[in-house]
Amino acid sequence: MNSRKRSIGNYAEDAIQEGYALALEYWYTYDMNQPFENWMQRILSNATNKMHRWVNNYPAATALEMEEIAVKSSGFQQAQARQAYLRIQETETPRRTCLQNVLIDQCTFAEAATLTGVNQNTIKSWVVRWRKENKELYR
């Protein structure tokens, strides 16, 4: 994670702050039987990786331009997430929870498996099948 922090420069603090905000938002997903440090490390790592991808996609943009890009892209992503959420709610409970963790909350398959107790490969097949059935959301 330190190499990611170095590669995103001044945005590292933003990534860490975003990670802590996500931890507060998704506190209910924390399994008290698992080590807190691992859960928090994964959230911070994901936030840092997301910022790293974002900075690499828009390397020449100024801070103001990056803010505008984030606002524009998040509007589409929010609409897409809203549509996906509504369709996910139509599925049965264990599958619904796994799909929401992976597709909406952007957890990895391993994180979703840990949160739900469902086999990681089962979650992968559910996600692949759901994406095929709902491919118009990803165009």
pLDDT of residue 48: 82
pLDDT digits (tens, 9 = 90+) for 61-88: 455 555 555 555 445 566 676 777 788 8
pLDDT of residue 2: 53
**Can you say whether residue 37 is alpha, beta or left, with left for phi > 0 and alpha for psi between -120 and 50 degrees?**
alpha
Using pLDDT thresholds of 50, 70 and 90, give the confidence band for residue 122. very high
The CATH fold of domain 75-139: Arc Repressor Mutant, subunit A (1.10.10)
Nearest CA among 41, 46, 49, 44 for reference residue 8: 49
* The residue to which tokens 């911070």 are assigned: 44
Cα gap 113→119, rounded to integer Å? 6
Report if pTM > 0.85. no
- C-alpha distances in Å from residue 95, one per residue of 1, 45, 85: 31, 26, 13
Residue 90 has pLDDT above 80, yes or no: yes
Question: What would the DSSP string read from start to end of 45-86?
Answer: HHHHHHHHHHHHHSTT--HHHHHHHHHHHHHHHHHHHHHHHH
Give the residue-averaged pLDDT of 109-122: 89
Q: Where in the chain is the domain with CATH 1.10.10?
A: 75-139
pLDDT digits (tens, 9 = 90+) for 3-61: 554 555 667 777 788 888 888 888 888 888 989 999 898 888 888 888 777 766 655 54
Cα gap 47→63, rounded to integer Å? 18
**Can you say whether residue 61 is alpha, beta or left, with left for phi > 0 and alpha for psi between -120 and 50 degrees?**
beta
Cα gap 117→123, rounded to integer Å? 10
Give the residue-averaged pLDDT of 103-107: 77
pLDDT of residue 121: 92
Give the residue-averaged pLDDT of 75-104: 77
Neighbouring residues of 111: CB distance < 8 A, sequence distance ≥ 6: 42, 101
